Structure 1
Amino acid sequence: MRSLDAPAVRRWAVACVQSLDAHRDAIDRINVFPVADGDTGSNLLHTMRAALDGLLRAPARTRSVAGAALTALARGALAGARGNSGVIVSQVLRGFADAVTDPAVECDGPALRAALAAAARRAEAAVAEPVAGTMLSVIAAAASAARDAEELGEVAAAAAAGAASALADTPRQLAVLADAGVVDAGGRGVVVLLEALVAVVNEQPAALVAAARAREMPAPELSMYTARESGSDQFAYEVMYLLEDVPAADGGDPVGRLRDTLVGLGDCVSVVGDGTGLWTVHVHCNDVGAAIEVGVETGRPRQIRVARFADAPTAESSRFVRDRAVVVPVRAAELADLLAGEGVTVVPVDRGDPTFGLVSAITATGAAHVTVLPAESALVEAADEASIRAVAAGQDVVVVPCASPVQVLAAVAVHDPRRRAGDDVVAMAEAAAATRRGEVTVAAEAGITWVGACAAGDVLGFADGEVVLIEPGPAEVDVLDRAACGVLERLLGTGGELVTVLLGADAPEPLADELADYLRREHPAAEVVVYHGGQPDAVVILGVE
């Protein structure tokens, strides 16, 4: 790959989510700085999921330009940042966006070099008191290592190698890491993100690369935990919030005053913005009220989160590093991105037998219990075979048969890892079974259906797997709209509260608006959500719950 276009940026975001998911528990286990609260991997994963969600929710025109896609990622990460590490990652993404601002320019080798340099500057500026031996050092080393590289692949590889080398040096720079016998947790997260970028640039399956790397780097023993470093054990709480409506400076610096006040209250202070008036505030302190009050005095705080370090979970030895995971094999890239943003493990399926990839993905989750949701009936057999092999190896794996991606979305929506595993599987299976499904496709050749003969180019409407109507071609917008509305009328005949529309790769843009208008007129009580599914075979897939 010579340059990162918008689809490649999206694939990188998905790869980051998948890679952090694979490494999360191992990163959590080595988290001893700035506080040993065991959540750096989880915070990084949550932040990147928020970034991906911000991109997926952006308008189609935004998703089609590399710089705009990076900006959407950065804004999503800032709004959903968790912990100090999440704030820093949001600024890394903002640095990338800063370097690719021209809509006509994609992110080639020189642009990636500039992006890494901007990311290092933004990351260091995000922290009130930068410390050597942390993820800041790893980011700076990545930018430095890539300075002499030219081609995109060379730049990405040099940055990842430089970051890995710097990560190995962090215990020599920070005594608390050396005492615990670990590298910096946030720095390891940076390496994971850059290795995901290398996988995308080299067009490798990032999720499998991440899983392999996670197995190469075993989780540390419990003895690798240590008390919080000196200078922070006096602070019992982590406070975070978003800040809006900060007044113009008028000769003063309200954000600077906010930062100075927080430094006086505690440590690990970061106050960073997205450039459009939204700020994320982070501090470790004892006086929670004062930390929030200074935010109220500066602007309008929202999404206030307070965590007490004493409540942080302790590590447990286990054969498995997670209790629960959901695995979904899919064929369409945009649908894969959508599901990855929901926190499930997505297995892209191309031609050939997907069984081996599914077994590898199930095993790589490290979960004691895995639920597999095949996104189409043709994948159920492979999912069954993969589950048999995984069960033989000691995992508890259940396949919930799904005949359509909309049934997978319904199942994922009710997934709750706090329930008992058996109850959760039942809830997902019931949600999938209760979702009526429809499709609109274009006939590739003449044939006979249950409702009559069709010619090549005619538009076919399916309800629950059966052809229920034929609209003579060609497949113009109005023809597709009539067919989709006809299918919806049949699906909604017995009622329904939520309509899900998945637009295929060949779906014309006006079709979504036409369907939304029809539902507002004829079924105003039904809520409608529209996604770009990207499926190559069906122009539109419909689900009714």
Structure 2
Amino acid sequence: MQALDAVAVRQWADACVRSLDANREDIDRINVFPVPDGDTGTNLLQTMRSALDALLRTPVDTVGAALGALARGALAGARGNSGVILSQVLRGLAEAAQGASTASGASLRRALWRADELATAAVSEPVAGTVLSVLRAAAEAARDCTSDDLDEVVTVAAKAGAEALANTPRQLAVLAKAGVVDAGGRGLVVLLDTLAAVITGREVEEVPAVVTVPRDALTTAREAGSSEYEYEVMYLLDGTPDAEALKDELTAVGDCVSVVGDGAGLWTVHVHCNDIGAAVEAGVRAGRPHRITVARFADQIAAQAPRFVRDRAIVVLVEGEGAVELFRSEGAAVFEPGDEVTAADLLAVVVSTRARQVTVLPGDPKWREPLDDAVTQAVAAGQDVVVVPTFSPVQALAALAVHSPSRRAGDDVVAMAEAAAATRRGEVAVSDREAITWVGRCRPGDLLGMVDGEVVVIEPGDADVGALACRLVDRMLASGGELVTVLLGRAAPDGVERVLEDHLRVVHPEVELAAYRGGQRDALLTVGVE
């Protein structure tokens, strides 16, 4: 589609309603800002339904008229702060397309920029990490797009919006604490993706799954200074009020204030407050308020789903595609940290289990600092989280092998800790730098055999990896052992596990070998002896 017309706008509005309906519960569940009232998805859906209803009842034959009808319907039926912002997004699109029969890529670029201006102006105190950040990213990407083709502009805008959504927990502490992205931002991404699908003809891609956590442990995580306000008051206002004066008056009695219009004499007013009468009286002095709605946050929070849906879960931090699948097959929730990992990332994994008690098995000590921060936040929010000291994925495997859901939680943690501690860990790796070790100097490219984190064998880079692995295992078995577990790294030579198997059959026939493709980057082999 190279031009957006009235028919396409109807298709988009209808598709938006269906997409928001499909994603409503997920969006409600991650709603923690500015108030954890669990209704952002519902409010967006109801606002968009009101917009679609207005469009279907209005005869239109141009894109400007169609978008204008949507904007008016959204403003009249706006629900919550998110609905108010959505109405201004639609108003921005309508203003940019006013008088036009169709909209091109250049028109969409202007429309998104105008939508960003109006949505930002609608919020009394714009905050980074919200729907406004997602909208700004989409508008900037559309502005910077080198093509004027409609499909190119909408595609880059939708992609930029999704990327900005993923970044919201890094911008807003309350999102990071809860392990979620911004609910309003996710709703906007649903709308952008739906628009891209209508224009390009491709199916709507599922919005990437985000970590969800109920809010009953986060009911104080509101905007700064707003924890005292118990009610959300909204109403429509007819006339020509002094919007800035009304904002000032409402700010004196509450927060999350917005006073926005459709450009034709209809205004929507929104405020969080305790004095409902004062909020309504301010509207009476400014114009004619009608369709007044009041919601009590405590009632909304109380109606939410229970926070925990199971008693216990195991979370494993491990790298390598094969290792990830191995732990998942054993029933663990797995997180692959990659090059950079933050406390917010780890907290997201812990809270997403929705388990009352979580045991974490880290596969590497380098993640200790962000993991400690994540555990502290999870415990502060009411979740029981215990980290079992495991310094290698083979120790995590040993711990997981003795896990028993039927055992008391405390006893189960002790059993896993004992199994991990009884497992000696070893590695065959390639040195990436020159260093002094307990057994001499190593140079870049040398093969290193390590036991419990210390280098015990150094071989030239062209040495036989299989032979070195056999020497390492012999050393580890010197103090006894019944089971050797090997995770093969991404760069492990073919057949090295067979070399180990043949060696153990001859030298240690009483020992069992279990070898798996781990796919880890940092080690050719990771070895555990139990």
Task: Say yes or no: TM over 0.5.
Answer: yes
Give the ranges of 4+ consecutive aligned residues of structure 1 lying more than 3 Å apart after TM superposition. 221-225, 316-319
Structure 1 residue aligned with 2:296: 308
CA distance in 1, matches of 2:297, 2:216: 18
Q: 2:144 aligns with which of 129, 142, 148?
A: 148
Conservation of the 8 A alpha-carbon contact between 1:30 and 1:224: no
Q: Is the 8 A contact 1:180 1:224 kept in 2?
A: no
- Cα distance, 1:174–1:219 mapped onto 2, change above 3 Å: closer
Mapped pair 1:54 → 2:54: yes
- Which structure: larger Rg? 2
* Structure 1 unmatched ranges of 5 or more: 248-253, 320-545
In 1, the alpha carbon distance for the partners of 2:195 and 2:287 equals 37
The Cα shift of 1:245 comes to 2.5
Please say if residues 96 and 110 of structure 2, whose CA atoms lie closer than 8 Å, have aligned partners that are also in contact: yes
Correspondence 1:11-410 to 2 at 5 A: 11-58=11-58, 60=59, 62=60, 64-104=61-101, 106-149=102-145, 150-206=148-204, 209=205, 213=206, 217=209, 220-222=212-214, 226-227=218-219, 228-229=221-222, 230-246=224-240, 254-312=242-300, 313-316=303-306
TM-fit CA distance, 1:226: 1.9
- Write the letter of the residue equivalent to 2:283: G
Q: Secondary structure at the match of 2:35?
A: coil
* Secondary structure of 1:146 counterpart: helix
Partner of 2:510: none
Structure 1 residues 384-533: aligned runs within 5 Å: none
User: CA offsets per residue over residues 316-342 of structure 1, 9 Å max, x none?
Assistant: 4799xxxxxxxxxxxxxxxxxxxxxxx
Q: Post-superposition shift, 1:138?
A: 0.6
The aligned residue for residue 2 of structure 1 is: 2
CA contact (8 A) 2:19 2:194 kept: yes
Offset at 1:223? 7.2
Aligned to 2:144, what secondary structure does the other structure show?
coil
For 1:218 and 1:148, the matched residues in 2 are separated by 28
Partners of 1:181 and 1:224 within 8 A in 2: no
Distance across 2 between alignment mates of 1:116 and 1:309: 32
| AA of the residue aligned to 1:315 | A
Q: Letter of the aligned partner of 2:234 in structure 1?
A: M
Is 1:32–1:225's contact at 8 Å kept on the other side of the alignment? no
How many Å separate the matches in 2 of 1:147 and 1:177? 28
Partners of 1:124 and 1:183 lie apart in 2 by: 19
* AA aligned opposite 2:11: R
Describe the shift of the 1:38–1:90 C-alpha distance in structure 2 as closer, same or farther (beyond 3 A): same
Question: Are the counterparts in 2 of residues 29 and 225 from structure 1 also a CA contact under 8 Å?
Answer: no
**AA paired with 2:267?**
W
Contact 1:182 1:224 in 2 (8 A): no
> 1:222 Cα shift?
3.6
Contact in 2 for aligned 1:40/1:83 (Cα 8 Å): yes
CA distance in 1, matches of 2:229, 2:236: 21
TM-superposed CA distance for 1:300, in Å, is 0.4
Q: Quote the offset at 1:128 in angstroms.
A: 1.1
8 Å contact kept, 2:64–2:99: yes
1:30-63 Cα offsets, whole Å, 9 max, x none, are 00000000000000000000000110011x2x2x
Structure 1 Cα separation of the partners of residues 138 and 114 of structure 2: 12
Mapped to 1, the partners of 2:240 and 2:280 lie a distance apart of: 14
Please give the per-residue CA displacement for 1:105-140, whole angstroms capped at 9, x wherever unaligned: x11100000001001001001111111111011100
Amino acid in structure 2 at the alignment position of 1:310: A
Give TM-score, length-normalised by structure 1.
0.54
Gaps of 5+ in 2: 310-530
- Whole-angstrom CA distance in 1 between matches of 2:62 and 2:308: 44
| Alpha-carbon distance between aligned partners in 2 of 1:131 and 1:166, rounded to the nearest angstrom | 14
CA distance in 2, matches of 1:15, 1:51: 12
> How far off its partner does 1:218 sit?
6.0
**What TM-score results when the alignment is normalised by the length of structure 2?**
0.55
Q: CA deviation at 1:246?
A: 3.3
Shift of the 241–4 alpha-carbon distance from structure 1 to 2, 3 Å rule, reads: same
- With over 3 angstroms needed to count, the CA separation of the structure-2 counterparts of 1:151 and 1:226, relative to structure 1, is same
Separation in 2 of the partners of 1:108 and 1:224?
A: 46
* 2:41 partner SS: helix
